[in-house]
Structure 1
Amino acid sequence: MTKTIAILGSGFSSLAASCYLAQQGNQVTIYEKNPTIGGRARQFKKDGFTFDMGPSWYWMPDVFERFFQDFNKKPSDYYELIKLNPAYRVYFGINDFISICDNLEDIKSAFEAIEKGSAVKLQKFIDQAKSNYDIAIKDLVYRPGVSPLELVTPQTALKLNQFFSSVSADIRKEFKNEKLIQILEFPVLFLGAKPTKTPSFYNFMNYADFGLGTWHPKTGMHDVVKAMEKLALELGVTIKTNSPVERIIVENKSAIGILINGEIIKADIIVSGADYQHTETLLEKEHRAYSEKYWESRVFAPSSLLFFVGFNKKIENISHHALFFDVDFNQHAADIYDNPKWPKEPLFYANFPSKTDTTAAPDGMESGFFLIPLAPGIEDTPALRFLYFEKIIARFEQLTQQSIKNNIIFKESFCKNDFVTDYNAYKGNAYGMANTLLQTAFLRPKLKSKKVRNLYFTGQLTVPGPGVPPALISGKLTAELIQKSLRS
């Protein structure tokens, strides 16, 4: 029987859920509070420059392929992918950087040149990471987090010890050079926690990095949003922007509709891809499954200070993706997770999409995206944003041996306060809830409300976790739970 389904938000998980639910034959409408769709993956354009506002790394291409395959499509039906070489570059000092190439053999050679014997160790490490990837990404993450038994398989039983050790501990057993250690610890930062707090099993992220490579949709990550929007519309989904949901209406412990701009819109089922904590504030207190105390006790992934910068010249000595690890990695991590404060000397990431995509900037110019990870809930002021831009640009100029500050046409910033305003993000988090041992699978907030019938959730604060590929999977899991409930 066809059901009327209202979806809150238009990020990756909402778009994915809408496609699956429409494919099931339901009447699906997405309601987005902002003027454009994509959630954190919105696009920003100014003076001929184009920027992805959020996700900029295209990893785990197989997850995207599996998503489109579910609709007898493939990514290439909608967008072109370019494999980046180098995938990224990591800067440790002046004329001191390591380029991560697009294949494991070249990466092993780079490691061996720095630490003798590390090539063999890296192959062994990546082989184990691939084994974990095959278990996690091809199987476990496609389970809805309903029961702890979902994690019990013959394969995971053999890897039980990996849930009680950390990624950092395992890496440091094998590698001694601090630069190589930081490169290997970097991928798990996408999961939102310190490498010392991330279970060893999550080293599958290293296979995603070195094994599968770093890709770029031809004109940016928003290509994926546009592809999913097109697919959703082809399946009959309706998308309404400028539609902030003010309240979820509950009668007899069942969600029956939403309130938007003072108008009640009835629905048989409601799915929220908006921030989970915010969504529950749209309910009366007795209908909320998680208290403020619960949210306060969770480990959240970082917020970020972002800068979108237009340059009137081409930038030299830089790759599409670049990480600046020329300061204390562990101190910055402590400033995020242990003693939240603005880091004195921040690590930062720079992304120059115009190195790959000629449409990202006018001819002869460059578009630059800079990101500093920060503790969620931190103070955010114009003065602090200015100070930290000055810090990172000075270091960027020094490390890449060039002057660029006087070539800035414009810069726009986006930080904790904007994450709260634009996305209703809890404490202004950028990546959701961290995937620590006690926040994995069935220990994460549930896809299905425990207190309100016909109310479901999807996205980075629920199962399976943060990141774009998990968001696609989350949408599928929620749609499957709804389909199962409709059959029963």
Structure 2
Amino acid sequence: MGKDIAILGSGFSSLAAACYLAKAGNNVTVFEKNNYIGGRARQLKKEGFTFDMGPTWYWMPDVFERFFADFGKTPQDYYHIEKLNPAYNVYFDKLDYVSIEDSLEKIYTTFEGIEKGSSNKLKKFISNAEDNYNVAIKDLVYKPGVSPLELVNTKTISRLHQFISTIKKDIRKEFKNERLVQILEFPVLFLGAKPSDTPSFYNFMNFADFGLGTWHPRNGMFSVVKGIQQLANELGVQFKINAAVQAIEVINGSAKSIKINNESLTFDTIVSGADYHHTETLLPQQYRQYTEKYWSNRTFAPSSLLFYVGFDKKVENVAHHSLFFDVDFDIHAKDIYDTPKWPENPLFYASFPSKTDINVAPKDKEAGIFLIPLAPGIEDTKELRERYFTKILTRLEELTDQNLKNSVIFKESFCVNDFINDYNSYKGNAYGLANTLLQTAFLRPKLKSKKVDNLYFTGQLTVPGPGVPPALISGKLVSELVTQYQNS
């Protein structure tokens, strides 16, 4: 007989968990503190423009396909995607950029044109990355992080050296051109850590990048949220918005109810896809697994300063996804991870989805999304946001040889304080815990509470880690644990 299950939060991991648990025959209710579904993957609509406020990259399409296949569906049943060409441009100087196109053969040609002999090295590198991808995505990341033995098999033992070396060391041993090095180091930023701190095994992200390509869901990433919500509705999941959880109530060591608007609602099982640290503050002190010292000693992925900008004309000489690497990455990385502070000269990313999607901006206008990675927990003021918008817009104008400041119709910003206020995010982090060697798999916070029965966690602070595809996987993993303990 199905159980009554409460899920806290409505991000990708919560939505996935809701679908799996409803499919298993449970009565599932999702509680969302905000007035919309989707968590960080929300949408901003203003003056005819539409912006994804959170994730903007659709990578690892196979993970989405595997998710929907578990329900006898395909992504195309709910939304439409198209492959981008170029996947993205990387800018190094004025009108001087490298385009990463939509096939490995084109990318090999691009590399060879920049550094003689590099195409053969890249083929070998990508071959290894694809092997690692098959091991990681088809096997390892679908483990619940319960035991270190999950990582032990013939495939991982033969790759032990790849957990000791780093991405940065491996890439710089083979490639000498600094531009190619930076392009190859870029994908691990999705893991939330520096290339110098990321094990070589994670080069599978390079295969996700070059081998599987970059895609765009029509109308933006929020269409994926709506698609999964539709699937959840079809499975009988109930959604409650404007429902902030005030407390998780524990009786005799077991989670029995949640308090919303001073009313206690009883459930057999509680799954939290909300911020892990915040969720534990909803518990009495004696039932919290991780101390404040524990959290303060973790390596967090960055926070972000984001801008959502409407331009009254088309922005020239940019791609849908554009990376601006015209400054020193190592200095910026130190300002995020080593001595946290606002970077003097930040790298930044820009997305112009209206280059691909006519639905997200009025005719002859452009929607622009800008992101500067920042250290979590740093000062966030209106004055700092304004200063950094001026910095990056000035650089954008110089690097793409055009005037844009007078073409800004409006801009909205989102930064550390907003991540805290809107998502209860620990120190305002944007992506969760970084995937460093000591924060991988069983070394991450657990899916199942060690102190409270019937309480579970999912999302970017637990396994497998940050990113949309891992969030879908996390939802599946926690649902399997819940079902396992229900049946035991």
TM bucket by the smaller chain?
Answer: over 0.9
Q: 5 Å matches for 1:188-227?
A: 188-227=188-227
Q: 5 Å matches for 1:37-116?
A: 37-116=37-116
Listed one character per residue, the Cα deviations across residues 179-214 of structure 1 (whole Å, up to 9, x for unaligned) are 100000000000000000000000000000000000
Pairwise CA distance, 1:266: 0.6
Listed one character per residue, the Cα deviations across residues 49-79 of structure 1 (whole Å, up to 9, x for unaligned) are 0000000000000000000000000000011
Listed one character per residue, the Cα deviations across residues 20-58 of structure 1 (whole Å, up to 9, x for unaligned) are 000000000000000001000001100110000000000
Pairwise CA distance, 1:95: 2.0
2:126 — aligned with what?
126
Separation in structure 1 between the aligned mates of residue 135 and residue 455 of structure 2, nearest angstrom? 30
Separation in structure 1 between the aligned mates of residue 236 and residue 2 of structure 2, nearest angstrom? 13
Separation in structure 1 between the aligned mates of residue 78 and residue 208 of structure 2, nearest angstrom? 23
1:137 alignment partner, SS class: helix
1:414 — aligned with what?
414
2:438 — aligned with what?
438
Is structure 2 residue 475 aligned with structure 1 residue 475?
yes
Pairwise CA distance, 1:89: 0.1
1:151 — aligned with what?
151
1:187 — aligned with what?
187
Pairwise CA distance, 1:310: 0.4
Pairwise CA distance, 1:96: 1.1
Listed one character per residue, the Cα deviations across residues 332-356 of structure 1 (whole Å, up to 9, x for unaligned) are 0111001100000000000001111
Listed one character per residue, the Cα deviations across residues 90-141 of structure 1 (whole Å, up to 9, x for unaligned) are 0000121000000011111111111110000000000000000000001000
2:395 — aligned with what?
395
Listed one character per residue, the Cα deviations across residues 157-200 of structure 1 (whole Å, up to 9, x for unaligned) are 11000000100100001000111000000000000000000000
Separation in structure 2 between the aligned mates of residue 360 and residue 263 of structure 1, nearest angstrom? 40
Is structure 2 residue 293 aligned with structure 1 residue 308?
no
Note the aligned Cα RMSD (angstroms). 0.4
Separation in structure 2 between the aligned mates of residue 219 and residue 211 of structure 1, nearest angstrom? 24
The answer as to whether partners of 2:129 and 2:203 remain within 8 angstroms in 1 is: yes
1:293 alignment partner, SS class: helix
1:386 — aligned with what?
386
- What is the letter of the counterpart of residue 300 of structure 2? F
Q: 5 Å matches for 1:250-399?
A: 250-399=250-399
Pairwise CA distance, 1:475: 0.2
1:232 — aligned with what?
232
- What is the letter of the counterpart of residue 243 of structure 2? S
Pairwise CA distance, 1:2: 1.1
Q: TM-score, normalised by structure 2?
A: 1.00
2:40 alignment partner, SS class: helix
- What is the letter of the counterpart of residue 66 of structure 1? R
Listed one character per residue, the Cα deviations across residues 396-416 of structure 1 (whole Å, up to 9, x for unaligned) are 000000011101110000000
- What is the letter of the counterpart of residue 197 of structure 1? D
Is structure 2 residue 19 aligned with structure 1 residue 4?
no
Q: 5 Å matches for 1:20-31?
A: 20-31=20-31
The answer as to whether partners of 2:82 and 2:216 remain within 8 angstroms in 1 is: yes
Instruction: Structure 1: give runs of 5+ residues left out of the alignment.
Output: none
Separation in structure 2 between the aligned mates of residue 363 and residue 215 of structure 1, nearest angstrom? 23
Separation in structure 2 between the aligned mates of residue 402 and residue 263 of structure 1, nearest angstrom? 57
Aligned residues: 488
Instruction: Structure 2: give runs of 5+ residues left out of the alignment.
Output: none
- What is the letter of the counterpart of residue 474 of structure 1? S
Q: TM-score, normalised by structure 1?
A: 1.00
Pairwise CA distance, 1:261: 1.0
1:41 alignment partner, SS class: coil
- What is the letter of the counterpart of residue 231 of structure 1? L
Separation in structure 1 between the aligned mates of residue 2 and residue 82 of structure 2, nearest angstrom? 40
Separation in structure 2 between the aligned mates of residue 309 and residue 262 of structure 1, nearest angstrom? 39
- What is the letter of the counterpart of residue 485 of structure 1? Y
Separation in structure 2 between the aligned mates of residue 285 and residue 264 of structure 1, nearest angstrom? 19
2:92 alignment partner, SS class: strand
1:28 alignment partner, SS class: strand
Pairwise CA distance, 1:221: 0.4
Listed one character per residue, the Cα deviations across residues 217-273 of structure 1 (whole Å, up to 9, x for unaligned) are 011001110000000000000001100001001000000010011111111000000
Q: Structure 1 vs Structure 2: percent identity of aligned residues?
A: 70
- What is the letter of the counterpart of residue 371 of structure 2? L
- What is the letter of the counterpart of residue 350 of structure 1? A
